[in-house]
Amino acid sequence: MLRRLGAEVVEVRKPQQLDGLEGLVVPGGESTTFTRLMRLYGLDEALLRFTGPVLGTCAGMIVLDRNHLGLVDLEAERNAYGRQVASFEADLELAGDQRPLRGVFIRAPRVREAGPELEVLAEREGEPVLLRQGRFLVASFHPELTEDTRVHELFLETVRGRAAQPPVRGSGPVEGVRGNREVPSADATNGSVNVRA
């Protein structure tokens, strides 16, 4: 999906692979396994230091929530819609768009509690299923399993918007900085965006 939208995609399995990335996707899967492996390889600490935009889908939403990495101010309940056999698809109301967004829910989490900084972008039957908090975009469904690219477009808009900001000089790793070197803008890298598949 991201490649179709013009992004350069690389796979991330180890902390050092986050260096130089402009965005990251924490995908669906099994959240307990994710968190165990992230701790084992130190990817949890590296993700806490990562300053680029992050898209978390399904298990990715859980990994980013208050009870795990604590990067997004929400509490997600695992498998809240039921087991694998209870998986379903539904049309979602997307904020600012008349066209419904098709959501694929597979052992999906449900948002139980959300902090005041979270912006609800899509709902299903009045419940939030796509939310944004600053540089974080989280979905309780799998947007990559349909042909609709709007969720990934939202994510890439954030990535490209941050990459286009003027580089900053500093003495430590902060936003827009890798040591004392300037990070190239999107123009200097032909507009490509490195994210996790």
The answer to whether residue 142 is catalytic is yes
Question: Distance between CA 11 and CA 6 in Å, rounded?
Answer: 16
Residues in the chain: 197
Question: Distance between CA 101 and CA 187 in Å, rounded?
Answer: 31
List the catalytic residue out of 22, 68, 144, 152.
Answer: 144
List the catalytic residue out of 8, 22, 45, 58.
Answer: 58
Alpha-carbon distances of 151 from 45, 85, 96, 135, 138, rounded to whole Å? 27, 25, 13, 14, 10
The answer to whether residue 144 is catalytic is yes
Residue 26 near residue 69 (C-beta atoms within 8 A): no
> Residues 6 or more apart from 71 whose CB is under 8 A from it?
47, 48, 54, 64, 136
The answer to whether residue 125 is catalytic is no
- Give one word for 188, left, alpha or beta, with left for phi > 0 and alpha for psi -120 to 50: alpha
Residues involved in catalysis: 58, 142, 144
